[in-house]
Amino acid sequence: MVKKLILCSVFCVLCSVFSANALTYEVVRKDSSKMMAYSSEKSQTDHDPFATAAGTRPKWGTVAANHLPLWTRLKIQGFGEKIFVVEDRHAKRHKKLVDIWFPEKKKALQFGVKRLNYWVVRNVRPLPD
């Protein structure tokens, strides 16, 4: 039984499968990027400030990134176990930028510009009861 438990623990570490706060996910890769913030204001969007490139309404957890496919899930340094989803794009001149949506302009301005690590994750699921 102990050998089985140790083998299972080693397998989980090797596969980079993590669980915390009722979430399980697999880390695909780690990277870093310049991070900025935006809110739903006409001056910060190209047309409808309440529509994303994926056809959704922006909400807490929405990010814009041109270098990642739509619907990519991310964990971002400094945000605990929050999972963000790429649902938006920015102007083509931004090559490797992650823009985090905030519900209020004030909070977006407070966030400023930072270089942060992020992890692309997949198989995000709540833990079974």
pLDDT (tens place) for every residue of the chain, 129 residues total: 544 444 444 444 444 554 445 678 889 999 999 999 998 876 666 666 778 888 899 999 999 999 999 999 999 999 998 999 999 998 788 889 999 999 999 999 999 999 999 999 998 887 444
CA 104 to chain centre: 18
Any domain includes 11: yes
- CA dist 46 and 90 (Å) reads 9
User: Tokens representing 74?
Assistant: 């991310």
Domain that holds residue 104: 2-124
Considering the domain boundaries, does residue 25 fall inside one? yes
The model's pLDDT over 29-39, given as tens digits with 9 standing for 90+, comes to 999 999 999 98
Task: Give the per-residue SS3 of the chain.
Answer: CHHHHHHHHHHHHHCCEEEECCEEEEEEEEEEEEEEEECCCHHHCCCCCCCCCCCCCCCCCEEECCCCCCCCEEEECCCCCCEEEEEECCCCCCCCEEEEECCCHHHHHHHCCEEEEEEEEEEEEECCC
pTM of the model as a whole: 0.75
| Alpha-carbon gap, residue 118 to 120, rounded angstroms | 7
Establish if 112 belongs to a structural domain.
Answer: yes
Number of structural domains found in the chain: 1
